[in-house]
């Protein structure tokens, strides 16, 4: 990291469970950070904890910033912080880089890439994986799309909260890679849920079963980090079902566009819909196990 990067002027838009600690890591890395959050009280709390400054609009936060990061909810939320009179793109100086950590459609990414390009601003789609713990520990996996030059400039900034940060291709490639991530997770969590459910029905000690099978070919991050809370009926960790259904909806829509077949993903999406009907929209994604227990 160069001295210039170490003292970069940054803005961070969106202080949810992921954005709040990510913005904090920027401060810890020596950057000057201004934050914006739709609920101002959250921004005030962040400033009290980390220092820096808060702004009342995305545009105000972005004014004069070399790098503007966003981590909001969905396509519409991203458009709202980027576009319009109060949007960040209107306040960014020529040559600045907008880095979007939200999981959104590749279509909105390309739309905003074009809008940014029209104001001589670079736009990098950089969705993240690693959950709340990854954000808090600065150990996120970041998959990026956009121009090589913009990525090269932003990479050292993103290293503040990542364990791997890689450009996959042109604009939208980061979001399409995140879809691969969510597709893989959906199948893994369902498989783990079925294995634990089967063990339970067979009268086996689920913990003993996982201790053995996790050391073989069945082992996975999901198994290592979620089996205990699943067996303890604790589903308040990590990524919520409501957000996963949003992401799987993007996966399935994208699959239609590119003629990809996602039968397991489509099925698991319906299983998550069942969890929502059970009142589990805010449960984490491992609650597929709870659905099986309720059958």
pLDDT score for 1: 42
3-state percent breakdown (helix, strand, coil) of the chain, nearest 5: 55, 15, 30
The CA distance from 181 to 143, in Å, is 10
For the domain bounded by 3-170, which CATH number is listed?
Answer: 3.40.50.720
Q: Would you tell me how many other CB atoms lie within 10 Å of the CB of residue 2?
A: 8
3-state secondary structure of 11: strand
Give tens-digit pLDDT for 114-135: 999 999 999 999 999 999 999 9
User: What does the domain layout of the chain look like in residue ranges?
Assistant: 3-170, 177-294
Active-site residue flag, 93: no
Roughly how many angstroms between the first and final C-alpha of the chain, as a whole number? 53
Instruction: Indicate the angle between helix axes 75-82 and 106-117, nearest 10 degrees.
Output: 10
Measure Cα distances from 275 to 71, 73, 217, 264, 270 in Å: 25, 20, 28, 17, 9
Give the CA radius of gyration of the chain.
20
The CA distance from 291 to 271, in Å, is 8
Q: Would you tell me how many other CB atoms lie within 10 Å of the CB of residue 76?
A: 10
pLDDT score for 40: 97
pLDDT score for 238: 74
DSSP 8-state class, residue 240: B
| The model scores a pTM over 0.75 | yes
Fold of the 177-294 domain: 1.10.1040
Give pLDDT < 50 ranges for the chain: 1-5
Which residues partner with 146 through β-bridges? none
Sign of torsion, CA 270 275 281 286? negative
Q: Is 82 in contact with 119 (CB distance < 8 Å)?
A: no
* DSSP class per residue in 195-216: HHHHHHHTT--HHHHHHHHTTT
Q: Which of 42, 178, 273, 277 is catalytic?
A: 178
Residue 281 tokens read as: 């929209």
The CA distance from 42 to 87, in Å, is 19
């Amino acid at each position: 990291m160069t001295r210039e990067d170490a003292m970069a002027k940054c803005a961070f838009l969106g202080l949810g469970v992921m954005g709040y600690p990510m913005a904090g890591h920027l401060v810890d890395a020596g950057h000057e950070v201004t934050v914006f959050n739709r609920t101002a009280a959250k921004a005030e709390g962040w400033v009290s904890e980390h220092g820096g400054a808060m702004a009342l609009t995305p545009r105000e936060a972005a004014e004069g910033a070399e790098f503007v990061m966003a981590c909001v909810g969905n396509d519409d939320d991203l458009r709202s912080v980027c576009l319009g009179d109060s949007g960040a793109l209107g306040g960014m100086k020529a040559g600045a880089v907008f880095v979007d950590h939200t999981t959104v459609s590749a279509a909105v990414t390309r739309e905003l890439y074009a809008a940014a390009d029209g104001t001589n601003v670079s736009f990098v789609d950089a969705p993240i994986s690693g959950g709340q713990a990854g954000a808090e520990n600065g150990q996120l996996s970041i998959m990026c799309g956009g121009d090589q030059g913009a990525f090269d400039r932003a990479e050292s900034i993103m290293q503040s909260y990542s364990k791997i940060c890689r450009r996959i291709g042109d604009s939208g490639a980061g979001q399409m890679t995140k879809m691969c991530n969510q597709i893989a997770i959906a199948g893994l969590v369902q498989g783990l849920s079925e294995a634990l459910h089967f063990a339970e029905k067979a009268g086996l000690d689920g913990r003993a079963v996982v201790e053995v099978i996790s050391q073989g070919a069945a082992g996975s991050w999901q198994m290592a980090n979620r089996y205990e809370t699943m067996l303890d009926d604790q589903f308040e960790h990590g990524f919520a079902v409501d957000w996963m259904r949003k992401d799987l909806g993007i996966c399935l829509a994208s699959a239609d566009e590119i003629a990809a077949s996602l039968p397991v993903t489509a099925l698991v999406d319906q299983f998550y819909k069942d969890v929502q009907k059970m009142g589990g929209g805010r449960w984490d994604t491992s609650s597929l196990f709870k659905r099986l227990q309720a059958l």
